[in-house]
Structure 1
Amino acid sequence: MGTWDTGHFDNDTAADFSGRLDDAPEAERATLIRAALNAVIEAPDYEGEVAVAAAALVGSQCPGGEAVTTAYGPDKPLPPLPADLRPLAVKALDAVLGESSELRELWEEAGDKEWAQGVARLREVLAAAG
């Protein structure tokens, strides 16, 4: 995992996901986000970085959510996302933070607590809007 900071898009995999969203037709972007969330629920070791980025995009449209302003996020605006992505994003973040998550384990081994705290804050926003 090539990371440079603890933000939701501060890694190569999430930045690549942003590029795929920008390349996709607007009508397909919600489908890509849904697929990223579902993938990590089904297999917690599968691109957790992408699921966190996808959840951040869903969270950005929730009350109290933070706008995605990083240069590594999508350049093109997202259409309004379906509300049913919110509980799906919560499940995905639960998988990313769960006991069998390699991504969580890597951050813990690095001794970093800021990443998990940021993901937990995002989860709170999504759960409240759920």
Structure 2
Amino acid sequence: MREATAVGFWDSSAFGNDDAADFAGALDETTAQGRIEMVGAVLERVAATGLAEDLDAGDAPRAVAAAALVAAQCPSGEPLCSTFGPSTSMPQFPGYLRQLAIVALDRLVTPPSWLADAWENDPAWRRTVNDLRNVLDPPQREALFDL
């Protein structure tokens, strides 16, 4: 299992690790359409994986970063202010990536998950993922019908 304190993870932000920072760099080096494809591809790989423990080690943190980029474009999303995130602006992501990001995040926190295990004792990382999830799929504040 990879430890959150190991080399490669330096903070609990979506881009606070080597894999996500490398992903940001690769996003900066491609076209707008390439950015959409890269974000979609990592979210799709993670969402389609049967168990979170079966994920490619680098895909897990890249998927959190990709979900943060998608969440930043949601109505209640905040601009991504990370020293380690992409320096180029992101194109408008297609709507289906929002649902794919939700499924990918859910996969990453569903046991068994080395990423969730690695950050088990870090409430800041759990808050980061929870906040992303809530921006992507806001909890319903009121009932549609009185029951």
Structures share a fold, TM > 0.5?
yes
On the 8 A contact 1:36/1:51 being kept in 2, the answer is yes
The runs of 5 or more residues in structure 1 that have no matched partner are: none
For each residue in 1:73-99, what CA deviation from the matched residue of structure 2 results, as whole angstroms up to 9, or x when unmatched?
Answer: 001101111111101000000011111
- The 2-side partners of 1:99 and 1:41 are apart by 14
Moved over 3 A (4+): none
The counterpart of 2:137, out of the listed 111, 127, 130, is: 127
The counterpart of 2:30, out of the listed 24, 31, 36, is: 24
Looking at CA atoms only, which structure, 1 or 2, has the larger radius of gyration?
A: 2
The counterpart of 2:42, out of the listed 36, 47, 54, is: 36
Deviation at 1:42, TM superposition (A): 2.7
Deviation at 1:24, TM superposition (A): 1.0
For each residue in 1:13-61, what CA deviation from the matched residue of structure 2 results, as whole angstroms up to 9, or x when unmatched?
Answer: 0000001111111121111000110111233232210000000000000
Paired residues, number: 127
- Per the alignment, residue 64 of structure 1 pairs with 76
The runs of 5 or more residues in structure 2 that have no matched partner are: 1-5, 140-147
- Per the alignment, residue 16 of structure 2 pairs with 10
User: Share of identical aligned residues, percent?
Assistant: 41
- Per the alignment, residue 89 of structure 1 pairs with 101
TM-score by length of 1: 0.92
Which has a greater percent of helix? 1
